[in-house]
Structure 1
Amino acid sequence: MTGHPEAAPPTMLCVLGPPAVGKMTVGQEIADRTGLRLFHNHLTIEPVLRFFEFGSPPFRRLVDGFRQQLIEEVAASDLPGLVFTFVRAFDRPEDQRALEEYTEPFRRRGGRVRFLELAADQQARLRRNESPSRLAEKPSKRDVEQSRRILLDLDERHRLNSAGEFDHREDYLRLDNTHLEPAEVAERAIAHFGLRRRLT
């Protein structure tokens, strides 16, 4: 007796890393190859910035609420899943709690949650901070000098990459993409996690 193959469980791939490391660009490459939807963090940040200052209580509530609701809806849908980008400070327990909350809808429904961490040296990130695709998608970064100051300040104040403490986990992949093209990073991640490719 033959039947339809079982649908793959929905996947949430969290792409972590410091500002301008290439999370959105790599995420788009993965989305193009797999059919996962790209949900980069500035999709929620930019509209809220029109009304409230970055980091203010209303800003945090709105951004977090929008992220939670969208992830919940995708997890409950028949979509294959999403690629979610997030700047995680590894010295801030609240960032870990936020990731747990964001991924919970997928876990609750038996979906797969995977983590791709990107690292690149500061000079490479400062160059990428001015890339046309970044400035097109993220209006708040178009004041390049201010964006550069924020990047340097965050590097100074927080630990924005792990030190290998998650390398033993099957659901975690850490890559230094200083000298890697986004397409190569995407291919490595797809192979490592066994992500299903989009049917052509």
Structure 2
Amino acid sequence: MRLLIVLGPPAVGKMTVGRAVAERSSYRLFHNHHTIEMLLDVFDHGTPPFTTLNSEFRRRVVEEAAASGTDLLFTFVIDMDGESEAAWLRDFAAPYGDRVAVVELVADLDTRLVRNRTEHRLAEKRSKRNLEWSDANVRELEAGYRMTSEPGRDAPGERLLARWPHLVIDNTDLSADETAERILAWLVTDQ
């Protein structure tokens, strides 16, 4: 069993690529909006109950997946400079021990803004359907956070990624299927 974490900024294609990987392998997709969308029906995003339950639900899913021997693929947006996010992701992955790998997807902002409006994304993520708000959110996160790693930088995100096998893929001009094939080929060589 293994935990595959797919990181990257919003609308880079984490969920879509994750689904393509799951369709071709034993991995089960657990994308970050599985818990977000459910909780938004009851709590506003970022409120204490939302934050607590989102973290607890995710933690419990990964604990049970690890205990049952499930290959799990989890998607996540991380602030590479954020100590608390790196600590959360480290603790989240702990049930899998050293059986963790990370794929980081990168694409330019213009590509991500186009992807932010895809039918698949909007079908899976109700909270992204207000396109004016969603596009502004992608731009705001781009301006306020560093969501991709930088080789040689000493920051919490880079230190965390150094613990695990880590592949960076620029999927700007790749389909989800092409990206999934690259990930699966890398996982075979990384075993």
Q: When the two structures are superposed, what TM-score results if normalisation uses the length of structure 2?
A: 0.91
Root mean square deviation, CA, Å: 1.7
The 5-angstrom pairing of residues 179-194 of structure 1 reads: 179-194=173-188
1:168 to partner: Cα distance: 7.5
Instruction: Find out whether 1:87 has 2:74 as its counterpart.
Output: no
The amino acid of 1:69's aligned partner reads R
Deviations 1:96-130 (A, max 9, x none): 111101100111xxx61000000000000000000
Shift, 1:195, TM fit: 7.7
Identity of paired residues, percent?
44
| Structure 2 gap segments, 5+ residues each | 153-157
CA-CA distance at 1:78 after TM superposition: 3.4
The answer for the alignment partner of 2:37 in structure 1 is 46
Pairing partner for 2:23 from 28, 32, 45: 32
- How many residue pairs were aligned? 183
Shift of the alpha carbon at 1:158? 0.5
Specify the SS of the correspondent of 1:194.
Answer: helix
| Equivalent position of 2:170 in the other structure | 176
Matched residue, 1:119:
106
- Tell me, in whole angstroms, the C-alpha distance in 2 between the residues paired with 1:152 and 1:59: 23
Q: For residues 174 and 142 of structure 1, what CA distance do their matches in structure 2 show?
A: 29
Separation in 2, partners of 1:55, 1:132: 26
Letter in 1 for 2:37: E
TM-score under structure 1 normalisation?
Answer: 0.87
Instruction: State the SS of the aligned residue for 2:182.
Output: helix
Shift of 1:91: 1.4
Give SS of 2:24's match: helix
2:115 aligned with 1:128: yes
What's the CA shift string for 1:122-153, capped at 9, x where partnerless?
00000000000000000000101100111111
> Which structure carries more helix by proportion?
2
Residue type matched to 2:187 in 1?
F
Distance 1:94 1:102 in 2: 12
What SS class does the counterpart of residue 74 from structure 2 fall into? strand
Deviation of 1:164 (Å): 2.5
What is the identity, as a one-letter code, of the residue corresponding to 1:62? L
For 1:145 and 1:47, locate their aligned partners in 2 and report how far apart those are by CA, in whole Å.
22
